[in-house]
Structures are given as C-alpha cells and as structure tokens.
Amino acid sequence: MTLYFDHAASTPVAPEVAAAMASVLADPALQANPAADHPPGRAALAVVDAAQAAVATLVGALAGEIVFTSGATESNNLAVLGAARWRRARGRHVITAATEHASVVAPCRQLEREGFEVTWLRPGPDGVIVPAQVAAVIRPDTVLVSLMQVNNEIGVVQDVAALGRLCRSADAWLHVDAVQAAGREIVDVRAAQVDLLSVSAHKIGGPKGVGALVLDESRVQRLDYLHHGGGQQRGLRPGTLPTHQLAGFGVAADLARAGLTTEAARLTALRDQLCAALTAVPGVRLNGQGARRAPHIVSVSVPGVEGESLRLALEGLAVSAGAACDAGHGEPSAVLRCLGHSGELARSTVRFSLGRGTTAAEVDAAVRLFAVGVAHARRLAPAA
Ligand code: PMP
C-alpha cells in the first residue's frame, strides 16, 4: 500500500462531498440549466447559490463576488491577464515573483509579450517575499501585484495583509493565489484588502475541475474576459455552470471552514512530528527554515544523493518531487533554485503534504520508509 503524502497536489474527495455530488446528479428535480428561467432552472440555480455562499464564507467575501471557473489554473489566468489587460490604460507594470505557481508565471510571461513590464521578485533564503520588496518596486503605473499566500512547494506563508495595505495605498490591484492556504490558514479578502483571490476545490476535499476567482466588487467591477459567450456570471466567465461540481465545492468549503481551527492544529502537530523526524535523518535539510510555514507542507532536500535514485527508493510513498504541475518537464524547481539550491540539490528534494486522513502512525511509517530510502539512494549514488 502506498502512503499518501501528496495532499498539496490533490486531496481525496471527502465522503460528504461525494454524497452531495451524487445526489445532485441523481435528483430529477435538479437536472435543468441553472440559467433557465423556469422552476426546474431555479431549483438548479439554488444549488449554485448555496455553493457561492459557502465559498464566499470560506474566504470572507460576499456570495455575488464568487466567479466559478474550471480550477485555479483558470482563476489565475483570468486574474492576471484579465486585470492587467483591463487596466492597461492606467499603466503597464505588474509585480509578481519567480516562485509563483506556473499558472501565474506563464500569464505574466504572456503579458511581457504584450508589452507589459513585469518585475520578478525573488525570495530571501527562507523562501518568503517580504512586503518591503514590493514597496521598493511599486510605482504609479503598477496595475497588478500577484503573490501567493502559501507557497505550494515549500509551504512558506506570506504576509498578505501587509501586501494588501501596500497595494491599496498605491491603487495597484492585489491578486492572491490562495489555493494552498484555503482550509489551512485564515483567508479573508476583506480583512487583508485583497482584490482578486484564487481557490481550487480539489485542494480542500472537493472535486477536480472546479475553482473560483473571488473579486472585491467595490474595487473590481470588470476584467478583460478570457472567454466570450453567454452572459453567465456577468459575462466574466460564461458557460453553463456545472451544478454537481459546485454542490461538491460548496460542501468542501463548508467542511474546510467548520474544521479550520481544529484541522490546522492537528496538521501542525503532525507536521512538526514529521519535520523533526525527517531532519533527524543525517544530512537532510528543511526548506523554508525560519519562515512561518503552513500546517500541511514539509519540503526537505537530501544532499549527496541523485534525485532519480531517491525517487525510486521512495516508491512506497506518494510524495512530490516538487510541484506536481512541474513534474513533467524534468527541470529543477524554480522555487528551489531561488532558495540558492544547486540544480542537483533541487532535484533531490521531496515534498510531503498532509491532509484530512493523515495519522501519526502514517507519519511514523513514512519517516521509516524515507530513512531507508535515503540510505539506499546514498549507497547507489554516493556523493562525488
Ligand atoms: N496554484 C497553486 C498554488 C497550486 O498549488 C495549484 C495546483 N497545483 C494551482 C494553482 C492550480 O490549481 P488547479 O489544479 O485547480 O488548476
């Protein structure tokens, strides 16, 4: 049996979520198009409304401020491209970080091709972008700042409220990728003065293929649309809404909110147990040391072993070699390179991520497998 330590890549669907989705799919009264103006349509719309309310409550927004998307990749694209293009008459400067998720980095590269100037911040050795770095580069023509709350590879937490204050005073819109923060950290768009925020259902026990972009209505009335079609969701993201997906997302959001305090505390204890045991293995280094870290991610690097042999030696563990989204192209992670890791050390990095089902016994078992795997990989590929 494989031990699942890859909750940052995707979480198992919670049983309550699966039940809610199945009941929407099976209910003859909920089969209509939620945009249709007749009683069955309105019954389907009630499912959408409930999901909007649940997601809004999770992030401190109003129900009408939730725009559903196909996932956070789309939310991030819509936020970055949609906001910058919409505000281009005001200015063409954007601030982000080299350590953002690919679904922020790639749209920012696209903006560069369109004539925007993008300032790429690099974190300090602890992996954190500090507000002073933004303050040093923000200017009157900065239209958008896009920085994540919790880094998906190493779990470090950024001070979103301080970024919010800074961006507000410069009238730059702040977009926050809160995919890894939702359900693990407090996410509150109003308190933190966030203008645009991305979340994804499958990172909080919901189904894959659905997410949301949250807009502060008092600040962001429009974006340059990515999709053109019918007028659903005020035209911001047209298309027939997937009622069963949204039912699942809504229940996942409710569960995440209800369990936030207890689950964050439980995961923090497990994370600390994992962290202490992993770093007790000789030579193993914790990434993001010194920074505040989210409760569910532990990233370690193992000097002196070859990445591929380490991966093979950890067969019984479902962990990530970095970000799952980057796993395909074999390049060392940009995040780890920014931390000063050599390409070799970046490749011998393992991310453990915990979630609802993780137990202390599993953490012990994972550490045992890891210690044996590291010893094996060291024998196979001794340090030069
Ligand atoms: N941002 C972050 C920080 C993520 O971890 C992920 C998922 N890897 C995404 C965005 C993309 O989310 P989705 O899978 O819903 O497209």
Residues 32-85: pLDDT tens digits?
Answer: 999 999 999 999 999 999 999 999 999 999 999 999 999 999 999 999 999 999
Burial of 341 (C-beta count, 10 Å sphere; 0-12/13-18/19+): buried
Amino acid at 39: P
Atom 5 (ligand 1) nearest CA: 152
Residue 1 has a pLDDT of: 84
pLDDT band at 116 (very low <50, low <70, confident <90, very high): very high
- φ/ψ of 176, rounded to 5, equals -120, 125
Mean pLDDT for 267-272 is 98
Residue 333 has a pLDDT of: 82
Of 295, 229, 190, 242, nearest to 69 by C-alpha is 242
Q: How far apart are CA 234 and CA 64, in angstroms?
A: 10
Residue 382 has a pLDDT of: 55
Encode pLDDT of 301-356 as tens digits: 999 998 888 888 898 999 998 544 555 566 778 889 888 898 889 989 999 999 99
Mean pLDDT for 237-261 is 97
Q: Which residue shows structure tokens 């990095």? A: 349
Q: Please indicate whether residue 91, judged by its CB atom, sits closer than 6 Å to ligand 1.
A: no
More confident residue, 111 or 324: 111
**Cα 344 to ligand 1 centroid, rounded to whole Å:** 25
Q: Mean pLDDT, the chain, as a whole number?
A: 94
* 325 belongs to the catalytic site: yes
CB atoms within 10 A of CB 34: 21
From 74, 149, 203, the mutation candidate for ligand 1 (largest count of ligand atoms within 8 A of CB) is 203
Mean pLDDT for 84-98 is 97
Sign of the dihedral defined by the CA atoms of residues 44, 46, 48, 51, in that order? negative
- What pTM, to 2 d.p., does this model score? 0.96
User: Any alpha helices (H) in the chain, and if so which ranges?
Assistant: 15-26, 39-59, 72-86, 102-113, 131-137, 160-170, 243-258, 260-280, 307-313, 334-338, 343-347, 360-380
**Cα 11 to ligand 1 centroid, rounded to whole Å:** 12
CB atoms within 10 A of CB 279: 15
Atom 10 (ligand 1) nearest CA: 72
More confident residue, 213 or 327: 213
Q: Please indicate whether residue 296, judged by its CB atom, sits closer than 6 Å to ligand 1.
A: no
Residue 324 has a pLDDT of: 46
Residue 329 has a pLDDT of: 60
From 55, 70, 73, the mutation candidate for ligand 1 (largest count of ligand atoms within 8 A of CB) is 73
Share of the chain above pLDDT 70, in %: 97
Of 157, 126, 122, 150, nearest to 286 by C-alpha is 126
Residue 161 has a pLDDT of: 98
**Cα 227 to ligand 1 centroid, rounded to whole Å:** 20
Residue 330 has a pLDDT of: 61
Residues 6+ apart with CB under 8 A from 325: 101, 102, 103
Q: How far apart are CA 273 and CA 363, in angstroms?
A: 8
Given a cut of 60, is residue 101 above it in pLDDT? Answer: yes
Q: Please indicate whether residue 152, judged by its CB atom, sits closer than 6 Å to ligand 1.
A: yes
Residue 322 has a pLDDT of: 56
Sign of the dihedral defined by the CA atoms of residues 137, 143, 149, 153, in that order? negative
**Cα 379 to ligand 1 centroid, rounded to whole Å:** 36
Amino acid at 136: A
Instruction: Please list the residues that pair with 286 across neighbouring strands.
Output: 300
